């Protein structure tokens, strides 16, 4: 699959502008782990290979970095392997209730043209987030959707997932 | 129909963050009329009443005709949009419904002759941005209908 164009080269202001939104999101108070989870789920729904590749990687390694154990890496892989079936047992127990609410919101908001983000989802989600948090979460979902649109429209090249290499070593190479 | 909550009040940083993207787009060189047609079309697809109201008002203030406003959701069957506008609208539809369309080659080939890579990158960001605003308004059931042309510029100047 051929790359169509590199939007970052053609219009450097574009990733810079979205980067400004990311800067807000990473300081708005929402948990980084939640932001990463939502980011990955959006990319799965949209079918954005670049983004899934990148964010799977981020999720697997960031959790492993926190736990600092090779066995923890295996556990975190399991947690995210079930992400596209998060509603179903046994994968549902891998995610907290707040995370499940965020994932329900993610799906409804991402597929807004079909769902219209109905009351049934809003009522399910609202208890877990303040109005500010839900505003921020909605922006996070919208921003992930924006990156997906840029990557998919331009056929951005998906990097090959380097197997079992610590992130620090990959950065150095 | 009641608003669920006012995201601009609950999280003003959200508005500031997305407004930063719009500020960049204003420097992109893409025509305001074209951008507003794109925004109106995306808002129609996503069903965002607030944004539909805002963008037809913006278009009227820029001198847009009723015929072109009313005809927009059947633009493919209509002779009153330029080739460049038609390309932008095709791109808008494919990019807005990305989960379903994956922005296919057929649309890319139709669109490519009308825009440079820089313009296409900026146009794609504009589509992504209106999709973001649509999601915020629909998710929070923002009350549509009261938009006044220029009100957000006024707010920006006041803040």
Q: Which CATH number characterizes residue A28's domain?
A: 1.20.1290.10
- CB contacts of A109 in chain B (<8 Å) are 135, 139
- HEC per residue, A96-133: CHHHHHHHHHHHHHHCHHHHCCCHHHHHHHHHHCCHHH
Across residues A128-153, what is the average pLDDT?
Answer: 96
Rounded to whole angstroms, the Cα distance separating B156 from A57 reads 39
- State the first-to-last Cα distance of chain A, in angstroms, to the nearest integer: 26
Q: What percent of chain B has pLDDT over 90?
A: 93
pLDDT at residue number B155: 73
- Residue B63 pLDDT: 97
Looking at the structure of chain A, the number of domains it has is: 1
Domain span at B87? 30-158
| Whether B28 contacts chain A with CB within 8 A | yes
Residue for token digits 């990156």?
A: A147
Task: Give the pLDDT band of residue A164 (cuts 50, 70, 90).
Answer: very low
Residues in chain B closer than 8 A to A136 (CB atoms): 11, 13-14
Give a yes or no: residue A131 inside a domain: yes
Q: Identify whether B98 is part of a domain.
A: yes
| Residue B22 counted as domain residue | no
Residue A163 scores a pLDDT above 80: no
Q: How far is B34 from chain A (nearest CA, A)?
A: 18
| Overall domain count for chain B | 1
Give the ipTM of the model, two decimals please.
0.95
B48: left (phi over 0), alpha (psi -120 to 50) or beta: beta
Whether residue A7 is contained in a domain is answered as no
Q: Check CB contact under 8 Å for B128 and A146.
A: yes
Question: Mean pLDDT lowest for which of A6-10, A48-52, B150-154?
Answer: A48-52
Q: pLDDT tens digits, residue range B60-72?
A: 999 999 999 999 9
Q: Where are the alpha helices (DSSP H) in B27-159?
A: 32-46, 49-61, 66-70, 83-96, 98-101, 105-111, 117-140, 151-158
Residue B115 belongs to a domain: yes
- Which class for A71: exposed (0-12), middle (13-18), buried (19 or more C-beta within 10 A)? exposed
pLDDT in tens, A140-149: 999 999 999 9
Residue A167 lies in a domain: no
pLDDT at residue B125 is higher than 70: yes
Here the CATH number for the domain that contains residue B81 is 1.20.1290.10
Could you list the residue range(s) of the whole structural domain that residue A141 is in? Answer: 12-160
């Amino acid at each position: 699959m051929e790359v169509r164009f590199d939007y970052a080269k053609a219009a450097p202001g574009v990733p810079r502008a979205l980067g400004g939104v990311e800067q807000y999101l990473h300081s708005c108070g929402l948990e980084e782990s939640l932001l990463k989870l939502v980011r990955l789920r959006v990319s799965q729904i949209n079918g954005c290979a670049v983004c899934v590749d990148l964010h799977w990687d981020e999720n697997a390694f960031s959790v492993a970095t926190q736990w600092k154990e090779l066995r923890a890496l295996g556990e975190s892989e399991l947690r995210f392997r079930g992400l596209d079936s998060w509603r179903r047992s046994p994968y549902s127990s891998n995610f907290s209730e707040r995370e499940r609410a965020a994932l329900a919101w993610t799906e409804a908001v991402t597929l807004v043209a079909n769902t219209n983000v109905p009351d049934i989802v809003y009522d399910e989600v609202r208890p877990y987030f303040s109005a500010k948090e839900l505003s921020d979460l909605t922006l996070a979902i919208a921003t992930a959707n924006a990156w997906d649109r840029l990557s998919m429209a331009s056929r951005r090249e998906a990097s090959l997932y380097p197997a079992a290499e610590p992130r620090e070593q990959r950065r150095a190479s | 129909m009641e608003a669920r909550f006012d995201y601009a009040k609950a999280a003003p940083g959200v508005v500031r963050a997305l407004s930063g993207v719009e500020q960049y787009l204003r420097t992109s060189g893409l025509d305001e009329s074209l951008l507003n047609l794109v925004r109106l079309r995306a808002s129609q697809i996503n069903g965002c009443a607030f944004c539909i109201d805002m963008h037809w008002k913006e278009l009227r203030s820029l001198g847009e005709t009723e015929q072109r406003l009313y005809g927009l959701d059947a633009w493919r069957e209509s002779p009153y949009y330029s080739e460049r506008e038609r390309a932008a609208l095709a791109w808008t539809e494919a990019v807005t419904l990305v989960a379903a369309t994956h922005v296919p080659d057929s649309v890319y080939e139709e669109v490519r002759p009308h825009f440079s890579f820089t313009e296409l990158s900026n146009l794609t960001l504009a589509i992504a941005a209106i999709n973001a605003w649509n999601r915020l308004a629909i998710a929070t059931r923002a009350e549509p209908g009261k938009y006044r042309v220029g009100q957000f510029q006024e707010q920006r100047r006041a803040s």
